[in-house]
Structure 1
């Protein structure tokens, strides 16, 4: 059976799972063969002799199991990152969080940044690639995440710019001067019913408490107390109003919210007034 015939045959098994079944079968074939898209188009009519392996992957994908966990890869900000089970899969919306940070950091010499909840390390790695002379401390409570993030930093040759630490928020971070905290923390309410495909991802990277914004509020308060000027966070689409109300507890110079690609509220940027905090 040729590659073309395999794509046609197995894409039918994914028509209820994805809107791009042909494309996903091609991705799985490339994963199996460790080839690129150019090779695929040049060899579309060649014999494919790993149908058994492909069938196994397609059947698993048909259960809504994430494609990224099958290939151990995800695209983010135009780069390829390794992903692994028990670590959150990167989302395109988080690229907007990186863009917000770059806009601020590009004009700051030798910035020091802390990322809370680094996951696969995509935010810290991209900032390290995009900002000259940056130093980053990236923390997470998940050992698997820290291992994966460190691997991605080495893959993208920025491991000298990032220090990875196991820590719950700022708990194990030495006192030092940071210009910015950045985070894509869990912000979904505990009782929210997840889409089937997301159920395969780690719950502690998704759920933020009974309401959902508890961890976000803890990050805001602790960042304020530590005199860190900038705080950038991703958030839930319905959390703008309660968070805006919560901001009133703090001495803030200015803040703004930004929307995602679907025009939902997706994150915020805070600049605190620099002073001693006693919240």
Structure 2
């Protein structure tokens, strides 16, 4: 069986899982052969010798198991990051959070100190380290597996000297002063039923409490209390109204809520009045 015939055969098993079944089978073949897209297209009519391994991967993907876990990587902000089971998969929407935070950091002259709460695979901190000059980042998480993966991603992108990864439950082990706090925290209500593909990801990176916004409120409170000028966070699509109400008790200079690529409410950025 040729590569092209294998793609056509196994894509049929993924038609109800993804809108790009042929493309996903190609990605799995590239992963198995350690080849790029150009090589694949030039060798469509060559014999494919890894059908058993491909079948195994496709059967797992057919159960809605995430493609990013199968191939061990994901694209974010035009870069490739390592992924693994037990750590949240990067989402394109988080690119907006990175962009918003970069815009705010431009207002700070000289060295910038940033605290990331819940770093996961490290994508936010790594991109900030790549894109912002004179930056020092403390990135925390409660998940040891996530911290190990984040360190690998920092090493991969050669920014390990600009980020310190620390195991901490929110701010528990955080010391020092910061210009910005940034976070994509768990913000889904505990009783929400996840889509099957998302259910493979770690629950402690998804569920934020009975209502869902509890951790967001903790982060807002901490940022204000510790005189941190800027805060950028992701949030749930239905959380703008309660968070706007909660923010009335804080002394803020500006508050911006923003939408994602699908025009759902997705996050907010705050400038606090600092002392």
Render the CA deviation track for 1:23-55: whole Å, top value 9, x for unaligned: 000000001111111111111111110000000
Between the aligned partners of 1:274 and 1:131, the Cα distance in structure 2 is 23
Over 4 Å off, 4+ runs: none
Confirm or deny that 1:59 pairs with 2:62. no
Between the aligned partners of 1:33 and 1:107, the Cα distance in structure 2 is 47
Between the aligned partners of 1:180 and 1:43, the Cα distance in structure 2 is 49
Q: Which secondary structure does the structure 2 equivalent of 1:127 belong to? A: helix
State the shift of 1:105 in Å.
1.5
Q: Which secondary structure does the structure 1 equivalent of 2:268 belong to? A: strand
State the shift of 1:106 in Å.
3.0
What is the TM-score with the length of structure 1 in the denominator? 0.97
Q: Which secondary structure does the structure 1 equivalent of 2:249 belong to? A: coil
Between the aligned partners of 1:252 and 1:106, the Cα distance in structure 2 is 19
Render the CA deviation track for 1:52-100: whole Å, top value 9, x for unaligned: 0000000000000000000011000000000011100000000000000
Where does residue 237 of structure 1 map in the other structure?
A: 237
Confirm or deny that 1:84 pairs with 2:78. no
Q: Write the mapping of 1:170-249 to structure 2, written as runs, cut at 5 A.
A: 170-174=171-175, 176-249=176-249
Between the aligned partners of 1:266 and 1:76, the Cα distance in structure 2 is 17
Where does residue 116 of structure 2 map in the other structure?
A: 115
Between the aligned partners of 2:96 and 2:28, the Cα distance in structure 1 is 28
Where does residue 130 of structure 1 map in the other structure?
A: 131
Instruction: Point out where structure 2 has 5 or more consecutive residues left out of the alignment.
Output: none
Q: Which secondary structure does the structure 1 equivalent of 2:140 belong to? A: strand
Between the aligned partners of 1:27 and 1:264, the Cα distance in structure 2 is 29
Equivalenced residue count is 274
Between the aligned partners of 2:225 and 2:243, the Cα distance in structure 1 is 17
Instruction: Point out where structure 1 has 5 or more consecutive residues left out of the alignment.
Output: none
Confirm or deny that 1:153 pairs with 2:154. yes
Between the aligned partners of 1:213 and 1:146, the Cα distance in structure 2 is 24
Between the aligned partners of 1:253 and 1:269, the Cα distance in structure 2 is 11
Render the CA deviation track for 1:194-233: whole Å, top value 9, x for unaligned: 0010010000000000000000000000111110000000
State the shift of 1:131 in Å.
0.4
What is the TM-score with the length of structure 2 in the denominator? 0.99
Where does residue 33 of structure 1 map in the other structure?
A: 33
CA RMSD, 1 decimal: 0.7
Where does residue 270 of structure 1 map in the other structure?
A: 270
Between the aligned partners of 2:75 and 2:267, the Cα distance in structure 1 is 21
Where does residue 71 of structure 1 map in the other structure?
A: 71
Q: Which secondary structure does the structure 2 equivalent of 1:86 belong to? A: coil
